Structure 1
Amino acid sequence: MSYQYPVLPDAEAFYFEGNKIGILVSHGFTGSTQSMRPLGEAYARAGYTVCGPRLDGHGTHYEDMEQTAYKDWITSVEEGYQWLKERCDTIFVTGLSMGGTLTLYMAENYTDIRAIIPINAAITVPSMENVNELENVRFLDAIGSDIKNPEVKELAYEKTPVQSVKEILQLMEKVKGNLSKVTCPALIFVSDEDHVVPPFNAQLIYEGIESERKSIFSLKNNYHVATLDHDQQVIIDKTLEFIASNL
C-alpha cells in the first residue's frame, strides 16, 4: 500500500537491544509511538530488549490511516513480535488503548507470550457504535491527547477517519470473542477517569480471560493516555515488578 505522507518526528518505531527478555510495546488508535516511548526507554534502561512498532497508517497523516485495515495493525505488531523472537527467549507484551486490544490479540494467538500488561485497553466503546449510521461523513473529531496533565500533549491525529472507526470496531469484536484464549498472567491497568475508553472495559477483560494470575490496577491521577500522564512512573514501576515476578 502506498502512502503519501512522511513519518512525523517522534512517531518512528523504536528498537532497543538488551538482554534475552523482550518487551513488545504498542501505541493506540490514531496515536503514535510517542505515547509509549517513555515506557520503552525505561524498560531498556532496566536491561530489556524493547520493540515499539509504528502501527500501519499511524504517525503520518489521518488520510494514510484511512487506507489501512485492522489486519494491517495486527501485522505491524506481529512484525515487532518477530523482531523480538529473533533476539529473545521470553516475550512480554504491553499496549495502550487499541495497543491494549492488540496486546490481548497477541496473547490469544501466541501461546508463548509470557505475560501481558494492557493499559486502558478497548474491547467495547459504545460511543463509536453509531458510526455505521453516518452517511457522507469521512472524518470525525480527534480522540487523542486525553491527558490530565496540562503540560503534556500526545502526538495524535487531529481527525479520526470514519473508515478507521469501523475497523477498530471489528478488531474489538474479534478480540472480545476470543478472550477465553488468554491464559498467561495479566496486569490490567485502568484509569479511573477516561474520556475515550470506558473504564468498565478492564472488568470485562478481567472476567473474560482465563489467566490464573490476573489483577486490575487502578490509576488515580490521569485520563486515557496514562502513559504520558501523572501516573507514568507508577505504570513503569508496577510493570517492571510484574515482569520480574513472572520470569
Structure 2
Amino acid sequence: MVLCHGFTSDPASMRPWGEYLRDAGFNVVAPLLTGHGDTWQVLAKSTWQQWYARLEQALDEALAMGRPVFAGGLSMGGSLSLRLAELRGGDLSGLVLVNPAIYDDKPQGFLAPVLRFVMPSVAAIGSDLNKPDVREQTTSRTPVAAYASLRRLWKVTRPELARVTVPLRIFTSAEDHVVNPRNSAVIRAGVRSKDVESTVLHRSFHVATLDYDAETIFAGSAAFMDRQVTRSRGVHD
C-alpha cells in the first residue's frame, strides 16, 4: 500500500493507518513529498509535478516487493493518487481515498498565481480535527505559490477522471472545513471504475485518519484490499 499525505502535512498523518495495515500483513510505503516536512518557505518552492514524481517513485518501490499494490491518500494525497491511477492504473489494484480534493470551491482561489507575489503565505490549514487533543503536523503557514501549483494539479486531473478504472473505496467526512465533501461526489461521477464503495464519516473532520473514525478507515481499507486480492487470485486461478 502506498499512502500519500496531504498538502502542507507529512507522513505522520498516515502513520496510524500504515501501522494498522502493516500489522494486518500489508507492505506499506509512505513517502514524504518534496518540500513537505519543512518550513513553508521551502514548500513554496516545490511543485505538484515534484510531489507526483515522489509518489510515482514510491509506487515503483512498492511494485518491487512483488505483491499487488494499492494507493491511498488523504486530501491532496487523494488528488495525487487519482493522477497515479490515471497514468499508471495498470500497476494498481485499487485506490482508497479519504476526503480527496479534485476542485477548488474557494472564490478567490483563481487569484493564487498572482497573490503569491504580494501575499506569500496565509494561515495554516492543518489540524481540522473533531478530536480536541490531537494535532496534525503541518507547516506553520500555507504558501500561496504551492497552493497555486496544487490548483494546477486539480486542473489536469479532473478532466481525465474517466481514465480511472481501478476499484475505488472513498471515505468522506460529513463535516469538513478544508475540502468540500462534494469533491467525493465529483470523483465518483467522473471515474469509470465499476467497483466503487463510499462511506460517510459522521464523527470526523478533514484529517479523518487521526480522528474519531480512523478505525473505520483502517479496517475498511484492509477489508477492501483483501477482497480485491482474493478476486484477482480467483480470476487468475
Residue 183 of structure 1: aligned partner: 165
Q: Structure 2: state its 5+ residue gaps.
A: 230-237
Residue 133 of structure 2: aligned partner: 151
8 A Cα contact 1:206 1:215, kept in partner: no
Q: Return the offset for 1:107.
A: 0.7
- Counterpart pick for 2:111 among 130, 139, 152: 130
For 1:1-247, what aligned pairs fall within 5 Å after superposition? 23-110=1-88, 111-127=90-106, 128-134=109-115, 136-247=118-229
Q: Could you tell me which amino acid in structure 2 is paired with residue 113 of structure 1?
A: L
Distance in structure 2 (CA, Å) of the matches to 1:145 and 1:177: 30
8 A Cα contact 1:49 1:88, kept in partner: no
Distance in structure 2 (CA, Å) of the matches to 1:31 and 1:113: 24
Distance in structure 2 (CA, Å) of the matches to 1:151 and 1:185: 35
8 A Cα contact 1:100 1:119, kept in partner: yes
Distance in structure 2 (CA, Å) of the matches to 1:63 and 1:142: 13
Q: Which has the higher contact order (CA 8 A, sep 6+)?
A: 2
Distance in structure 2 (CA, Å) of the matches to 1:97 and 1:78: 17
Q: Return the offset for 1:133.
A: 4.9
8 A Cα contact 2:113 2:145, kept in partner: no
Q: Return the offset for 1:88.
A: 2.4
Distance in structure 1 (CA, Å) of the matches to 2:227 and 2:2: 18
Q: Return the offset for 1:112.
A: 2.2
Q: Return the offset for 1:132.
A: 3.7
Normalization by structure 1: what TM-score?
0.89
The percentage of counterpart residues that share the same residue type is 33
Q: Structure 1: state its 5+ residue gaps.
A: 1-22
The count of aligned residue pairs is: 225
Q: Could you tell me which amino acid in structure 1 is paired with residue 224 of structure 2?
A: F
Distance in structure 2 (CA, Å) of the matches to 1:126 and 1:192: 16
Distance in structure 1 (CA, Å) of the matches to 2:159 and 2:142: 25
Distance in structure 2 (CA, Å) of the matches to 1:30 and 1:65: 8
8 A Cα contact 1:194 1:224, kept in partner: yes
RMSD value over aligned CA atoms? 1.0
Q: Could you tell me which amino acid in structure 2 is paired with residue 118 of structure 1?
A: L
Q: Could you tell me which amino acid in structure 1 is paired with residue 123 of structure 2?
A: D
Q: Could you tell me which amino acid in structure 2 is paired with residue 88 of structure 1?
A: G
Normalization by structure 2: what TM-score?
0.93
SS at match of 1:29: coil
Q: Could you tell me which amino acid in structure 1 is paired with residue 105 of structure 2?
A: P
Distance in structure 1 (CA, Å) of the matches to 2:130 and 2:139: 18
Q: Which structure has more strand as a fraction of its residues?
A: 1
Distance in structure 2 (CA, Å) of the matches to 1:25 and 1:144: 18
Distance in structure 1 (CA, Å) of the matches to 2:169 and 2:110: 27
Distance in structure 2 (CA, Å) of the matches to 1:180 and 1:59: 32
8 A Cα contact 1:24 1:80, kept in partner: yes
